């Protein structure tokens, strides 16, 4: 029974029910927040052993370096050896940095704008710069573009990756398109996983800009929510085999593995890109936080140590996703009033409500004490052309709070939909 098939009497009846449910919701005076994809306290507690590491007298790494001192721009070998297989890059092409991969993305953009990439004839900033932005996508990627005057071109996102036809046509024609954002595994917010076929197309397509770069942000590479533990693709190998070894910048971090904001971040690329990055980095810093590298290496121990820890994260957060999905199904499924993703990993559920109602839904929810990320925030310039997308981040609240919030949100979705349909 689709909402759009209901008679106006039935719609009015449904609206009356949802209005009553909404009034009850407001009366509860909730204070729930489903905005940011943050780990919950129980998840943070999984890594508490870090707080006592490396420990006094334990600050010399395997190569004999005292990590308390300056140096080692590429980062501690121990931590790079643990993460190289997880993100499927060669260890000597991996750089371990400080506490934020977003900061590395920021710097990479700034270096490219001011100095040019390893294959640029001129700095990107000597002319207009455009980026392809699969949308819905990660709002902070788009904020970086906006900050530096990079024009964003939205591209539709599907289950296996973005609209390849549109992308290949655009990059072939326009030399001002210098970059593209990709979250290849469990994309923020849709949970999409880029297939090998899509990846192959992206690394091999002809581009008008010789210095075109894919910003391959593998923030959720090991963040599985099911037994299907999709491994990271060898994107650097695929790019090299396609004759475009320098096309891809890879990023990752432990923000949602250990501590968000106090983890280790990573950059990887072709040998030329790594020496370009390290050359710029060496002007910016005398070395990364190697004490943090060492305590992470001692805590995580091996790639399997990371996999085990991620299964413990899954035990905490997968039930919250299941709960949220079950409530959406029960409250909205029968009306065909919305569609939503069923992610196999990552931190988000992407909800598409009736066209033209997302802003209203978020407003209704806010007035009932349920704070959602602003409608449109997953789109370049904050503009969702269909005003339908809402990002749900279920990891941080307690399970009972997730249920209450999704129940309330469902009421808002139905109320806004009936308002819109009855208004004609």
Q: Which of 72, 95, 97 is nearest to 286 (CA)?
A: 72
Please report how close the Cβ of residue 219 comes to ligand PMP at its closest, in angstroms. 4
Among 109, 157, 170, 219, binds ligand PMP (CB under 6 A): 219
Tokens of 311: 């299964």
Are the C-beta atoms of 74 and 287 separated by less than 8 Å?
no
Q: Would you count residue 373 as binding ligand PMP (CB under 6 A)?
A: no
- Cα–Cα distance between 216 and 96 in angstroms, integer? 16
How many other C-beta atoms can be found within 10 angstroms of the C-beta atom of residue 334? 11
Please report how close the Cβ of residue 26 comes to ligand PMP at its closest, in angstroms. 30
Element (H, E) at 196: helix 196-204
Radius of gyration from C-alpha coordinates of the chain: 23
Q: Would you count residue 377 as binding ligand PMP (CB under 6 A)?
A: no
Q: Would you count residue 267 as binding ligand PMP (CB under 6 A)?
A: no
Q: Are strands 151-158 and 349-352 parallel, antiparallel or unpaired?
A: unpaired
Binding mask 95-114 for ligand PMP (x = CB under 6 A): -----xxx------------
Please report how close the Cβ of residue 331 comes to ligand PMP at its closest, in angstroms. 27
Tokens 């788009």 belong to: 142
Alpha carbon 165 to its chain's center: 23
Binding mask 137-166 for ligand PMP (x = CB under 6 A): -x----------------------------
Strand order in the sheet with 265-268: 94-96, 265-268, 248-253, 213-217, 177-182, 130-135, 151-158, 161-162
Q: Would you count residue 265 as binding ligand PMP (CB under 6 A)?
A: yes
Q: Would you count residue 117 as binding ligand PMP (CB under 6 A)?
A: no
Please report how close the Cβ of residue 264 comes to ligand PMP at its closest, in angstroms. 9
Q: Would you count residue 207 as binding ligand PMP (CB under 6 A)?
A: no
DSSP secondary structure string, 341-387? ---SBSS-EEEE-STT-HHHHHHHHHHTTEE-PPTTTTSGGG--TTS
Among 255, 270, 273, 389, binds ligand PMP (CB under 6 A): 255
Binding mask 3-42 for ligand PMP (x = CB under 6 A): ----------------------------------x-----
Piece of 72-80, 240-248, 252-260, 375-383 that binds ligand PMP (CB under 6 A):
252-260
- Cα–Cα distance between 65 and 412 in angstroms, integer? 58
Residue numbers at the binding site for ligand PMP (CB under 6 A): 37, 100-102, 138, 183, 188, 217, 219, 253, 255, 260, 265
């Amino acid at each position: 029974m689709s909402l759009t098939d209901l008679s106006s009497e039935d719609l009015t009846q449904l609206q009356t029910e949802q209005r009553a449910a909404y009034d009850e919701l407001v009366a509860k005076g909730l204070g729930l927040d489903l905005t940011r994809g943050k780990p919950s306290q129980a998840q943070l507690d999984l890594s508490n052993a870090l707080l006592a590491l490396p420990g006094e007298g334990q600050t010399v790494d395997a190569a004999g370096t005292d990590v308390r001192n300056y140096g080692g721009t590429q980062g501690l070998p121990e931590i790079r050896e643990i993460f190289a297989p997880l993100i499927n890059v060669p260890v000597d092409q991996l750089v371990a940095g400080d506490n934020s991969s977003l900061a590395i993305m920021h710097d990479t953009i700034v270096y490219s704008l001011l100095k040019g990439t390893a294959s640029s004839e001129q700095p990107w900033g000597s002319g207009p710069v455009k980026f392809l932005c699969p949308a819905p996508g990660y709002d902070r990627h788009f904020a970086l573009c906006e900050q530096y005057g990079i024009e964003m071109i939205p591209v539709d996102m599907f289950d296996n990756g973005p609209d390849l036809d549109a992308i290949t046509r655009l990059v072939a024609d326009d030399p001002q398109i210098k970059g593209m954002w990709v979250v290849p595994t469990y994309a923020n917010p849709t949970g999409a996983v880029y297939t090998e076929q899509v990846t192959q197309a992206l690394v091999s397509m002809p581009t008008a800009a010789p210095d075109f770069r894919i910003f391959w942000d593998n923030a959720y590479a090991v963040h599985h929510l099911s037994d299907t533990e999709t491994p990271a693709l060898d994107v650097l190998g695929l790019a090299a085999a396609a004759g475009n070894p320098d096309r891809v910048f890879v990023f990752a971090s432990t923000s949602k593995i250990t501590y968000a904001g106090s983890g280790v971040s990573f950059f990887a690329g072709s040998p030329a890109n790594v020496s370009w990055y390290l050359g710029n980095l060496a002007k910016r810093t005398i070395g990364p936080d190697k004490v943090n590298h060492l305590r992470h290496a001692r805590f995580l121990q091996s790639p399997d140590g990371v996999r085990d820890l991620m299964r413990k994260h899954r035990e905490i957060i997968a039930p919250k996703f299941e709960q949220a999905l079950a409530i959406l199904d029960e409250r909205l499924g029968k009306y065909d009033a919305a569609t939503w993703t069923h992610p196999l990993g990552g931190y988000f559920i992407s909800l598409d409500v009736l066209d033209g109602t997302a802003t209203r839904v978020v407003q209704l929810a806010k007035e009932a004490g349920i704070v959602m990320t602003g409608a449109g925030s997953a789109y370049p310039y904050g503009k969702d052309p269909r005003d339908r997308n809402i990002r749900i981040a279920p990891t941080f609240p307690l399970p009972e709070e997730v249920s209450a919030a999704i129940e309330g949100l469902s009421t808002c979705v139905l109320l806004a939909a009936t308002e819109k349909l009855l208004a004609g």
